[in-house]
Every structure is written in C-alpha cells, then in structure tokens.
C-alpha cells in the first residue's frame, strides 16, 4: 500500500485505519494464506513522493499486489493533473515491471477548485485504468465524504475520514481487492 494520509490513518489510531482492517479481513477470509499487508503510506505524500519512494519499496518487499492511493495532495496543492497522471503512470509501470499487480484507489477533490480542474483530476484515474487495464476504485471515500456532518464520518477538516468511517472505506475497496488478494494468495 503506497498512499497518503487517507491510508496512513491521519488523525486516528493506525490500528483503526482501513489498511489495518484490511489486514484483519484478509486473515479472516484467507487464513494462513493471507498475503502480508505492508502500509507504506505517508501523510502529505504526493504522486511525486510516492514515485520517488516506490523503487526501494518494491525491492525491499517484493510484493505481488500494490495498491496506489495517491493524488489527493497533488489536487489540494493545485498541481497540474497531467503531472499527477504522468507520476501515477510511472508508478503503474514500475509495479508491473516488478511483476506485481497495481490497483488504483482514486480520490476526488472538493468542488471549490472549479469544474474544469475537478473533472480533469477525476478523469486521471479513469484514463490510467483504461490505458493500463488496471483495477480502479474510482472514489474511495464514496458515501463518506458526502455524508452529513451529523454522521461524523469525516474529521473536522472535512478531508480525512474518522475512525467510524474506516470500515465503510474498506467496504468500498473490498469488492475490487478481494479477488486480487485471493489470486495473490494462490500464487504464493
């Protein structure tokens, strides 16, 4: 898992984060065949930072599956979507070159960046999934980021999900990830 604060569990205990819950769910569903989950997510990371860190992570861990959850900080900084797309494309290629399966976990940015930017940002993930034929979860905070504040699924910054939202976040990702994790477990 290469991600940013959403996957690093910003503002909550990391043991409550969706990646820790994923590890538990894999063990429950696959038992001793469950692949090891390594969370190399860093709060504040951008696609450029992830791209720079990725070769060492691939060499150290030799993964069979790599989830890429990056781009949110690129968007919040107003970086060009084309630059984000190039970085993510390079990450996908590096993962494939390491004989691992990449999975894109998409994020969306707040609408106050304007429709042209938010549409271009959103389209990056879809274009990459199509171009590289990689699995995509278009918006991992689906139903969470847009929930009423009274549900307390987002922290006060309205960027990061609460501990309460983590199981729902995992449920959004699980249908895409479960068959891939099963394949990875069978291949080992």
Active site residues: 5, 157, 160
Check residue 140 and report its DSSP letter: T
CA-CA-CA-CA torsion sign (130, 134, 138, 143)? positive
Q: What is the distance between the terminal CA atoms of the chain, rounded to a whole angstrom?
A: 18
Cα–Cα–Cα angle for 143, 145, 151, nearest 5°?
75
Angle at which helix 18-30 crosses helix 166-187, to 10 degrees, equals 50
């Amino acid at each position: 898992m290469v991600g940013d604060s959403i996957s690093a569990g910003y503002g909550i205990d990391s043991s409550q984060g969706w990646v820790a819950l994923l590890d538990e769910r894999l063990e429950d569903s696959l038992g001793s065949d469950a692949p090891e989950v390594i969370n190399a997510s860093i709060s504040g990371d951008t696609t450029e930072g992830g791209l720079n860190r990725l070769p060492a992570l691939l060499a150290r861990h030799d993964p069979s599956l790599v989830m890429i959850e990056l781009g949110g900080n690129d968007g919040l900084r107003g970086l060009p979507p084309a630059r984000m797309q190039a970085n993510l494309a390079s990450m996908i290629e590096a993962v494939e070159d390491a004989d691992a399966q990449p999975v894109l976990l998409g994020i969306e940015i707040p609408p106050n960046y304007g429709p042209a930017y938010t549409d271009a940002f959103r389209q990056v993930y879809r274009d990459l999934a199509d171009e590289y034929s990689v699995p995509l979860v278009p918006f991992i905070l689906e139903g969470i980021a847009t929930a009423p504040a009274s549900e307390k699924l987002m922290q006060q910054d309205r960027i990061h999900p609460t501990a309460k939202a983590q199981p729902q976040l995992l449920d959004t990702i699980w249908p895409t990830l479960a068959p891939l994790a099963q394949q990875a477990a069978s291949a080992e």
